Amino acid sequence: MTNFFQSNLKFLRKQSGVNQTEIALQLNKAHTSIGNYEKGISEPTISEINILSQFFDISIENLINTDLSNSKDFKNYDRNIESINSKENSKGKGKDLPKHSPKDTRMPQVITMDTQGNENVVFVPVKARAGYLNGYGDSEFISQLPAYRLPGLNNGTFRLFEADGLSMYPTLHSGDVIIGSFVESLAALRDDRVHIVVTKNDGVVVKRVLNRIKTDGKLILKSDNYKERDQYPTLVVSPDDILEVWYATGFLSRQMRPPAEMYNRLIDLEGKFTLMEEKLKKVSQ
């Protein structure tokens, strides 16, 4: 924006002691969007500017057109924001701020950056899964995990998870590395797609998700290994039990999958055998 908005947003955020994730929660946006606003890469909507002006208890005029960091009226700005919706309702301020239930909306607790300020793609191997359940919000724990930059993973927050066991076979093999894109809203979960779900009771699980939150208030997590269903039972979880969800956008594997054409060949071969059996029956008669 051709004004002071981007520098003012950063100034107000730091003076108020809130992070980009908390601001993003106000706007129902990814935390990376706030970083883009502060860098001037993208622009907020009028509605978002209005929400921010209420959140920081400042007029839209000052938010956009005044250099707050150099203004004597805001030199010592110190707005103590105790919670997302802790505005002074008695004054009629903030009563229209969006309220997001923790059951519906989530933000990554910790991200790491490279020297250029780009988000790293953190890798969670099988041996780190138990620790991840307790350390997913611990910056020290996350910073100790391997981190990479992968081509094409620029728009969003991504994390790598190592598959363990054969619950998702033949879709995934044990040892495959799944590329997960962070899911902010449980309502946006794509039905019948593979996700990495971090739960309080079952830990980190890779499952195909059936989204039944709107109708039944539950997520159904099922395995692809239909031949060994007894070993990999379907899980039914409540939103309260979910800490994080990552949508599987792809995977890295050391094992080459059999060609899809092989299935068509088997069907064709089965058809030929059926016709041969039919001819043999006629000959024997």
Q: For position 94, what pLDDT does the model report?
A: 38
In this model, does residue 270 exceed pLDDT 50?
yes
**Which part of the chain has CATH 2.10.109.10?**
121-252
Q: For position 85, what pLDDT does the model report?
A: 40
pLDDT by residue (tens digit) across 4-28? 899 889 888 888 888 887 788 788 7
Give backbone dihedrals phi and psi of 271, rounded to 5 degrees, phi first: -65, -40
Residue with token string 């999958």: 257
pLDDT by residue (tens digit) across 174-201? 999 999 998 888 887 889 999 999 999 9
Which residues are CB-neighbours of 197 under 8 A, at least 6 positions away?
Answer: 204, 205, 206, 207, 209, 219, 221, 237, 242, 244, 245, 246
For the chain, give the percent of residues with pLDDT over 90.
30
Q: How confident is the model at residue 116 (pLDDT cuts 50, 70, 90)?
A: low
pLDDT by residue (tens digit) across 252-264? 998 887 766 666 6
Q: How confident is the model at residue 84 (pLDDT cuts 50, 70, 90)?
A: very low
Q: For position 101, what pLDDT does the model report?
A: 42
**Which part of the chain has CATH 1.10.260.40?**
5-82
Superfamily grouping for domain 5-82: lambda repressor-like DNA-binding domains (1.10.260.40)
Superfamily grouping for domain 121-252: Umud Fragment, subunit A (2.10.109.10)
pLDDT by residue (tens digit) across 127-186? 999 899 888 878 788 889 998 888 877 667 899 999 999 999 989 999 999 999 988 888
| 43 or 95: which leads in pLDDT | 43
List Cα–Cα distances, 15 to 21, 64, 122, in angstroms. 15, 17, 30
| 231 or 105: which leads in pLDDT | 231
Q: For position 274, what pLDDT does the model report?
A: 84
Contact 59, 53 (CB under 8 A): yes
